Amino acid sequence: MDRHSRIYVAGHRGLVGSAIVSALEKQGFHNLVLRSRTELDLRNGAEVDRFFEDQEIEYVFLAAAKVGGIAANNEQPAEFIRDNLLIQTHVIDAAYRNGVSKLMFLGSTCIYPKLAPQPLKEEYLLTGELEPTNAPYAVAKIAGINMCQSYNRQYGTRFISVMPTNIYGPNDNFDLYSSHVLPALLRKFHEAKEQGSPSVEVWGTGNPKREFLHADDLAEACLYLMEHYEGNDIVNIGVGDDIAIKDLALLIKKVTGYEGEITFNTSVADGTPRKLVDVSRINALGWKARIGLEDGLHDVYADFQHTYAVKK
C-alpha cells in the first residue's frame, strides 16, 4: 500500500476496526475512508454500490460484522447469519466490480469444528460439525472465506482472509448481554468491587480454554499481511497460547483488585472446550504477537475505567 492510497476500513468504530485505523495512522496512512453505520448501511446493496462508485477505494479492511457472545448468538441466530451474509456479500462484490486492488476479510476462529484437534490448523476448516451456539455466525464467515477464494479464482482478485482468535482491547464492548467473555468478566469484577459484592458469578464450569489477542497486535498483523501476503489460503492470527476461563477470572480479579469470591454457574453452556489456533503459518510469514495477557488486561482496564465504568 502506498501512503497516499485510499483505504476503506469497514467497521472502523468497533474493537478491531478502530485498532486498524489507529495502526494505519501510526504508519503514515492518512487517506482513510470511514463511514459510520448511520452514514452507510452495509446491509443495503444499493448504498454500498453508490459508495464504492463514488469513493474510488483502493484497499479494503472488512472488519464490519454483527458480533456478540453466547447469549446474543443463541437468541438472535437469524440476525447473525443474515446481517453478516449481507454485509460481506455487498462489500466483497462491490470491491470486485469497482477495481479494488486488495481486500482483507476478517473471519473468526469459530469457523473451525467444535471438536477439531488442537491447536487449530487452517486446513481443519470444514472437517467437522460447528459449535451449535454460534453456528449461524460461523456459517456466514465460512461463506465469506469461500466468496473471497471464488472471486480470486474466477476474477483474479487479490482478496485474502484472516482468522483472528478472541480479541480484546480498548474500545471493546462491555455490555453484559452482548459482549464476549473477557470484557464481560472485566465489567463484572469492576462493578463487584465498586459495589462491595461478596462474589462474582462466572458462566459455565470455568474449564474451557481460550486464547486472547490484543487488538493492537491484531491490527499490526492485518497491516503486515495486507502488505506481505498474497495467497488464497486462510491465515490464523493469534498468540499460540491459551488460558482456562477460571484462570482468566483469577487474573482479572487480580488486575481489578477485587477481593471477593468467584462462583461458577454450571447451568450455562461452556461452548467449545478449547480454541487454540496454530500460528505457524503467520509466524513463518514473519509476524508474531508481542503483548502479554496481563499487560494487555491492565491496558484494557484503564480504558474501561476511563470510558465505560458505571458511576456510583
- Please report, to the nearest 10 degrees, the dihedral formed by the alpha carbons of residues 134, 135, 137, 139 taken in order: 160
Q: Was 108 annotated as part of a binding site?
A: yes
Q: Was 126 annotated as part of a binding site?
A: no
Q: Was 180 annotated as part of a binding site?
A: yes
Angle between helices 245-256 and 181-195 (to 10 degrees): 40
3-state secondary structure labels for all residues of 163-175? EECEEECCCCCCC
Q: Was 13 annotated as part of a binding site?
A: yes
Look up 301 and say whether it is catalytic. Answer: no
Q: What amino acid is encoded at 297 in this protein?
A: L
Compute the distance between CA of residue 280 and CA of residue 286 in angstroms, rounded to an integer: 10
Q: Was 165 annotated as part of a binding site?
A: yes
Q: Was 107 annotated as part of a binding site?
A: yes
Q: Was 166 annotated as part of a binding site?
A: yes
Pick the catalytic residue from 137, 151, 168, 229: 137
Q: Was 270 annotated as part of a binding site?
A: yes
Q: Was 16 annotated as part of a binding site?
A: yes
Q: Was 141 annotated as part of a binding site?
A: yes
- Positions at the binding site for NADP(+): 11-17, 106-109, 141, 164-167, 180
- Detail the residues annotated as belonging to a binding site for substrate: 188, 203, 210, 270
Q: Give binding residues as ranges.
A: 11-17, 106-109, 141, 164-167, 180, 188, 203, 210, 270
Residue numbers annotated as active site: 137
